[in-house]
Amino acid sequence: MDQLKQIHAQTITTGLARFTYITSKLLAFSAMSDIDYAHTILNQTNTHTPTIFDYNSMILGYSKTSKQEMGILLYTQMRNNRIKPNARTFPVLIKTCDCISSLLQVHGQIVKLGNVCDVYVTSSLIYMYSNFKSVELAIQVFEESSYKNVVCCTSLITGCFNNGLVDKACKVFDEMPERNDVSYSAMISGLVRNELFNKAFDLFLHLKHSGLVNPNRSLLLTILTACGTIGALEIGQNIHHQLVEESFTFDLEIDTALLDFYAKCGDIEKAEDIFIKMPYKDVATWSSMIMGLATNGRNELAIKLFEEMTHKGPVPNDITFIAVLVACNHKSLVTKAWCLIGKMFKVFGIQPGIEHYGCMVDVLARSGQLKGAEILINLMPMEPDEAIWGSFLHGCLRHSEICLGERVGKRLIELDPNHSGRYVGLANMYADIGRWENVIRLRNMMVERKVDNTPSWSFIEVDGVVHKFFVHDPFHPRANDLSEVLQVVNKRRRRSYEFGGSVSDFEKEKECGLCELVIEIRRGRTFNRLWRVRELRFFSCFFGSSRSKKQTMVKGKIEDDGEGREGGEDGGEGGHAADGGGGRLHTCHGGCFVLRRDQVGYRP
């Protein structure tokens, strides 16, 4: 900017400032870096008269600052000077609108001056109306447009997805006369954001096999993130191979996404391998690796990597501290967690957010310091969310502080009687201690108050196909198989130990996912996967078949995550097994149960 100011001074002293082209170029460059200085150039009417090009540059510059309202004022000044807007004026002017009323005023000017047929104006209006949650107006603009090209359609698809209108977005996409990589990317990312993963994967595979459009970098990152979210390892591995073939490796953002994907799928060794080979690592890379280690039971390594980062890596951010606090949670390292909170604020100047308070409440509740956790919740500068109260209630149950948990649970229902999570959390606690009359009372209360309990679900990937499970879902194509295996598993589980069940439907969906895995194992399938189930009271699998001459050999290991303990084959010290007429049930308590390809499979 200093050099630009020197050039400006030279144009004034040499008289070149009277040439409109030179001054306009100086103003355009200044507007992108120092909008106030650019405004000074605009007001120098003694050297040149502002043109439409100058006003467009200034409006665009203000659209990228916090002074967006100045764009509207400049437009008014421009019209008072009898300067007519051109095709580039309204797209940038629309971006300066900071509320729906100003956007409506600009829209009125567009109609008055006859610019409604411009495709860039139309797409900009659709985008901004959607941003202001006025998607009905966005749809109206789209329907009234005489030229619905790929840009307008893509803008409306994005807006519909952002406002939850999935069916409308799909309809617009299906009716598009032509599609490009951007429209496919908008469609797939919208499906992912709305948790329609199967549709996203189907569309991606269709795009890949058709060869009509080559997936761009943004699209590959989006689908890779979705694979990590639901643990679709096989699909993600195929994308990894495609990234290698198209020379996208050694790209910082892509390598970080790959690292995060493998960590979320449980292949922490592959994630570590990618991390080590990366020539450059930013704060997102370090944070992803620390979180991956923490969520895969490598808590001490996660803390050690954080210490290494503070010495020779980039400066940690708020996400980094969430990751290392998660590691402290799993090991119940209360003192270490408090030290990290203090270091975060005093050394790095990061103000703790609700996620950091949530981690701290969790580590206190896990370690039995429930009074301290309650005090921290009351002193929080923000309202505690459902996750924080859930951690606290779980701690009350875990450490047999039933009265405290009951008092807090009832208070939560009083504060928010329409929140289903308040009822479910307290009902689960009652179920775990066998007070079923209270569970029924809470269920009836939810029905009487018409509290909507959004059904939860779970996923499992088999042969590159992601199966989604809802509790009591009769429409799943393999519902009968799942029900049959689940009945056998539950029957044998009850034989092995007295089940202290939970009314949480989420646990039932997890069981359905496990049944899908068990069915495939019984058919002789092997899986190159790492299966982890953390924080469950039990984890059971049914292996083998009395009707087969082959036998399933399983080596179970309970990995220590701060709460579990080592267990050998058939449960060992970490659990116990119950035999029955069709196979063997392994029930393992605490920690993580790990199954690998070399551990699960039929052998003669």
User: What pLDDT is recorded for position 581?
Assistant: 34
- Using the predicted structure, report yes or no on whether residue 559 has a pLDDT greater than 50: no
* Domain tally, the chain: 1
Calculate mean pLDDT across residues 559-580: 35
Q: Which helix (H) or strand (E) holds 326?
A: helix 318-331
pLDDT tens by residue, 309-355: 999 989 999 999 999 999 998 777 899 999 999 999 899 999 999 99
pLDDT tens by residue, 244-300: 887 776 789 999 999 999 999 889 999 999 999 999 999 999 999 999 999 998 999
Sign, Cα dihedral of 33, 36, 37, 40: positive
- Using the predicted structure, report yes or no on whether residue 583 has a pLDDT greater than 60: no
b/e burial code for range 90-112 (CB count within 10 A of at least 16 → b): bbbbbbbbbeeebbeebbeebee
User: What pLDDT is recorded for position 12?
Assistant: 64
User: Rounded to two decimals, what is the model's pTM?
Assistant: 0.69
Calculate mean pLDDT across residues 88-107: 89
User: What pLDDT is recorded for position 600?
Assistant: 31
User: What pLDDT is recorded for position 355?
Assistant: 93
Q: Which has the minimum average pLDDT: 95-99, 212-216, 344-348, 508-512? A: 508-512
Sign, Cα dihedral of 342, 344, 348, 353: negative
Closest CA to 357 of 338, 343, 370: 338
Are the C-beta atoms of 253 and 235 separated by less than 8 Å?
A: no
The contacts of residue 294 (CB under 8 Å, 6+ apart) are 302, 323, 324, 326, 327, 330
User: Which DSSP symbol is given to 412?
Assistant: H
Tell me which amino acid residue 269 is: E
Say if 72 falls within a structural domain: no
Query: Strand pairing partners for 588?
Result: 575
How far apart CA 120 and CA 90 sit, in angstroms, is: 9
How far apart CA 243 and CA 152 sit, in angstroms, is: 30
How far apart CA 355 and CA 340 sit, in angstroms, is: 14
- Using the predicted structure, report yes or no on whether residue 57 has a pLDDT greater than 50: yes
The contacts of residue 571 (CB under 8 Å, 6+ apart) are 556, 577, 586, 587, 588
Say if 500 falls within a structural domain: yes
SS3 388: helix
Closest CA to 96 of 68, 73, 75, 76: 68
Could you please report the per-residue DSSP string of 45-109?
A: TTT----HHHHHHHHHHHHTSS-THHHHHHHHHHHHTTPPP-TTHHHHHHHT--SHHHHHHHHHH
Strands of 575-580's sheet in order across: 540-543, 583-588, 575-580
Say if 184 falls within a structural domain: no
b/e burial code for range 399-428 (CB count within 10 A of at least 16 → b): bebeebbbebbeebbeeeeeeebbbbbbbb
Say if 463 falls within a structural domain: yes
Calculate mean pLDDT across residues 125-129: 92
Q: In angstroms, what CA-CA distances link 421 with 122, 185, 505, 508?
A: 42, 34, 12, 17
Are the C-beta atoms of 60 and 85 separated by less than 8 Å?
A: no
Say if 579 falls within a structural domain: yes
Q: Which helix (H) or strand (E) holds 517?
A: helix 505-522
Say if 342 falls within a structural domain: no
Cα 527–chain centre separation:
26
- Using the predicted structure, report yes or no on whether residue 58 has a pLDDT greater than 50: yes
Q: Which has the minimum average pLDDT: 56-60, 244-248, 375-379? A: 244-248
Domain with 517, as residue range(s), is 457-603
The pLDDT confidence band at residue 157, using thresholds 50, 70 and 90, is very high
Say if 381 falls within a structural domain: no
The mean of the pLDDT values for the chain is 76
How far apart CA 507 and CA 141 sit, in angstroms, is: 46
Say if 236 falls within a structural domain: no
